[in-house]
Structure 1
Amino acid sequence: MPDPEDRLGYDEDRSPQWHGGLSFGLLILRLVLGGTLGAHGLQKVFGLFGGPGIGEFSRILGDQGYTSQLSTLSWVGGITEIAGGALLILGLFTPAAAAALLAVTANAVYLKYQAGFFLGEGNGFEYHLVLAGMALALLFTGPGGISVDTNTPWRRRPVPYGIVGLVLAAGVVVAVTLLFRR
C-alpha cells in the first residue's frame, strides 16, 4: 500500500510524473522568492540596486541590537541570500536553500516584530513574514518538476527533508539571536 504522505505523483519505479500546474506554480514561487532575496543579498554585500553595501549593512545590524562580529554576520547574511536565492531559482538543493532563506527571513521577522505588522506603522514585519512563508512552503513542497532537483530524494519525499530544514532554520535563528544580540 503506498504511503500517501508525500509520494504522490510517482509511479511504481519512483520516476516523477508531470504535474503542469503544480510544477509551474512552484517554479514561479522559487523564481520570486529566490530573485527577491538574491537581489537583497546583492544590495547588502555589493551595494547594488541602491543597497547599503557590506559596511553600511554592518552598521545597520549594530543599530538593530547586534553586538559582536557584525562584519562576519553581514557577510554571512548577504551571501546566504545570494546563494540561497540562486539555488532556489535553479531548483538545486532546494531544502537547504529554503531552510537558509527561512532562517534569514525569520530573523528579520523577529527583529521587526516590535514595530508592528504593517509597513505603514513604521518598519513592520509583514513583508518578511510573506517571504518566510514562501520559504517554509518550498521547504515542504520541494522544488517541483521544473528544477534541477527533479530526481533527488528530497523531491520524491519532501516532508522528512522539510522537517530537518525547519529544525535547522529554527536552530540558526536561536543561535544568531543568543550569540550576536544583546
Structure 2
Amino acid sequence: MTNINPRNHRDVTADDLTGLDGVPTYTGQAGGSNIYERTGKAAPTEVFPRSTPGSTGSTGTAAGTADEATGRYPAPAPAPVEAFDPTSADAAPDPVPAGPATAVEPRARRGTIDLGLLILRLVLGGYLAFHATATFFRLGASDGVTGLENAFSGYAFGDALAVVVPTLELAAGVFIVLGLVTPAAAMVAIAVTGFYAAHSAAASGAGINALMWDANVWLPVVLLGLALAQQFTGPGFYAVDAGRGWARRPLASSWIFAVLGIAAAGLMWWFGTGINPFA
C-alpha cells in the first residue's frame, strides 16, 4: 500500500489510488462514458439559462445578462410606484348604506304664509265669536236671540235653531282664533255659515240667482268661503295646533271635514226648516 504523506496538500488523483484493494477504477470523460450514459438518466438542464441583453423573462421584465465571474443575474428593477391621488375614484370610500329614515321632519321655509293664516283666523273666528256674543247679550244693533226667533219663525224648529246656531257659531269662532282643533272648528264654521247663506238667500227672495243678491246675502257667502279656505290651509304655525300634522300639511282630514261641514249645513236646513233644498 502506498503511503500518503499527510503533509502533501495537493489534490488526490486517480493515480494515487491505483493498487489499493477494494477501490473501483473510474474512467473519465476521455473514455466517452459518464454516469448519465451508464444509468440511462437524462442530464439536467440549466435552471437559469443565459439570456442576451434585452431578452425578457417569464414575468415580462428584462432579465439582463449574467455576470461572467459569479454566474448570477442582476436583480430586477423595482416596479414604479404611482403617486396617491385622493381625488381618484379608487381613493373614494365605499358609500355607507342608508339607514332607516328618521321621523323628524324639518320645518320648511314658509315666508309670510303663517302670518297670512293668522290674519285669516282672526278675521273669520273673530267675526263668528263677536256675532254670536252680540246675539246672546244683545250688543249693539243686534236683536239678540229674540230677533233670530222672529227671523226663523217660518221654519219648523225656528226656536231651537235660534239657540243652536249662535252656540255653534261662538264655539267655532273661539277655537278658530286659538287655532285649536282647527279641522273640527272649521267644519262647524262651514255648517253655520252655510246655513246663514241659505237663510239669507231664501229671505231675500232671490234664491240661487247670485246676480240679485245684496250685501246681506254676500256676507255669509264670503264667510262660507273663508271657512272652506281655513279648512284646506290649516291654522299655520302661530296656533295651538302648530305641532299637529294638519298645521303643516293638511291632506285627507281637510276633505273629510269639509264634506262633513257641507253635509251638516244641508241637514240643518232640511230638518231645521222643513224645506227641501232641492225643491
Larger relative contact order (Cα-Cα within 8 Å, sequence gap ≥ 6)? 1
Post-superposition offset of 1:156: 3.4
Which of residues 248, 251, 263 in structure 2 aligns to 1:156? Answer: 248
Alignment map for 1:6-21 (pairs within 5 Å) = 13-14=104-105, 16-17=107-108, 19-21=110-112
Query: Which residue number corresponds to residue 171 of structure 2?
Result: 83
- Distance in 1 separating the partners of 2:135 and 2:115: 30
1:144 maps to which of 236, 257, 265 = 236
Determine which of 20, 30, 34 is the counterpart of 2:125.
34
2:15 paired residue number:
none
Partner of 1:67: 156
Bigger Rg, which one: 2
Q: Distance in 2 between matches of 1:166 and 1:122?
A: 26
Query: Secondary structure of 2:236's match?
Result: coil
Contact 2:237 2:248 in 1 (8 A): no
Distance across 1 between alignment mates of 2:211 and 2:121: 24
Contact 1:16-1:145 within 8 A present in 2 as well: no
Deviation at 1:124, TM superposition (A): 4.5
- Equivalent residue for 1:5? none
Query: Normalising to structure 2: TM-score of the pair?
Result: 0.55
Please give the per-residue CA displacement for 1:46-75, whole angstroms capped at 9, x wherever unaligned.
Answer: 21233121122112111xx4222x332222
Three-state SS of the structure 2 residue aligned to 1:14 is coil
Query: Which residue is 1:92 aligned to?
Result: 180
Percent pairwise identity: 32
Name the aligned partner's letter for residue 178 of structure 1. Answer: W
- State whether residues 118 and 124 of structure 1, in contact with CA within 8 Å, keep that contact through their aligned partners in structure 2: no
* RMSD across aligned positions (CA): 2.2
Q: Is the 8 A contact 2:190 2:265 kept in 1?
A: no
Greater mean alpha carbon deviation, residues 121-130 or residues 167-176? 121-130
Equivalent residue number for residue 108 of structure 1: 196
* 5+ long unaligned stretches in structure 1: 1-10
Tell me how far 1:36 sits from its aligned partner: 0.8
- Structure with greater helix percent: 1
Q: Paired residues, what number?
A: 168
- Is 1:176 paired with 2:176? no
Matches of 1:140 and 1:16 in 2, distance apart?
19
CA deviations over 1:140-167 (Å, ceiling 9, x no partner): 1100110000011322341211111112
